[in-house]
Amino acid sequence: MNRFTLAECTSVDAALSQLQDGAVVKAGGVDLLDRMKDGIETPPKLVNIRNIAELRGTRETEQGLTIGPLTTLAEISSHPLIRERYQILSDACGHAATPHIRNMATVGGNLLQRVQCWYYRSADFQCIRKGKEFCFAFDGLNQYHAIMDYTSCPSVAPSSAAVALLGLNASVQLTSAKRSKRMVGIQELYVVPDANPTKFTVIEPDELLTAIIIPRPAAGTRSAYQKYGEKESFDWAIADAGVVLEMDGSTCRRAVVTMGAASPVVRRSAEAEAALQGKPITEETARAAGRVAVHGARPLSMNSYKLDMFPVAVYRTVLLAAGLCGRDPSAAG
């Protein structure tokens, strides 16, 4: 690990004034310190925002819910209002990583964590996400990689919270050192590797993520998230799904279906959504949504098993969101 200076900040203003000359923000530090210990990043300065009280907690407004980025995954998963009205988010945060990590990890850091591709995470491999020409995953070990939406880099979106927040049509507020603020939707937050392989999000080096804003769900909304992994816990998803259903009685008026570990950035499945909209939610419609969720997928040499896993993840999460079954005992977390 390299030598670095540490700026301890207790206000947003103080943190923003420190964001220069290669300084990097540290929230819980779970992802950032891993990257530094693995030798893939050597920032000269860390700006510790962990103790900025104004960036923590949740606030209900007329429009919906505002969540401070330093709110931990554990706090979100146990929050009564989130459990009742934004189930997809409490499911996603409550089943990410492990209880210990969820106590430390912040939701802002979770959204901004880097991909887990083992070639990217190893200092021994200089891949395109480090500004070089080559991707080792195409001809290498690619069992955890993407099956959709990739060209130059098939690493997958790691954030469970992003899968939920995309389903809820959330936005993030970014505040710059010049104190200007901008709102960015969850989909637009992420830069696809084909556009710029070394830039993972649209956040500039002098910007802080200062709030997450979720619109109030329409009446009759139900939602859920489930993650499937190789291990029961202590690991990222190999297939996951988020489902938001706006119901009119037993008919689905509008559906949003999201997936994380299928592609380099979180995605919505228009095909799965169309399979549910205007129809009653039943075993049959849920299965149909699962089947079409992998429409157009192009598995790599070692991950065609995901063509079976994603349909199951979507099918079971549709039924869970609709209240037609309990949480799948074989789901991870």
Q: Which residues bind ligand FAD (CB under 6 A)?
A: 24-32, 49, 69, 96-97, 101, 105-106, 108-110, 112-113, 158-161, 203, 208-209, 234-237
Pairing of strands 24-26, 45-48: parallel
> Residue 181 CB: number of other CB atoms within 10 A?
11
Torsions phi, psi of 313, nearest 5?
A: -60, -45
Q: How many residues does the chain have?
A: 333
Closest CB 147 distance from ligand FAD, rounded Å: 18
Comparing CB distances to ligand FAD, the nearer of 130 and 279 is: 130
Nearest position to ligand FAD, beta carbon: 109
Closest CB 203 distance from ligand FAD, rounded Å: 6
Cβ distance 98 to 233 under 8 Å?
A: yes
Comparing CB distances to ligand FAD, the nearer of 125 and 236 is: 236
- The Cα 297–Cα 288 span in angstroms is 16
Closest CB 142 distance from ligand FAD, rounded Å: 19
Comparing CB distances to ligand FAD, the nearer of 209 and 255 is: 209
Torsions phi, psi of 245, nearest 5?
A: -120, 125
Pairing of strands 5-8, 45-48: parallel
Comparing CB distances to ligand FAD, the nearer of 105 and 135 is: 105
Closest CB 247 distance from ligand FAD, rounded Å: 27
The SS3 of residue 193 is coil
The SS3 of residue 21 is coil
Comparing CB distances to ligand FAD, the nearer of 116 and 169 is: 116
Closest CB 17 distance from ligand FAD, rounded Å: 15
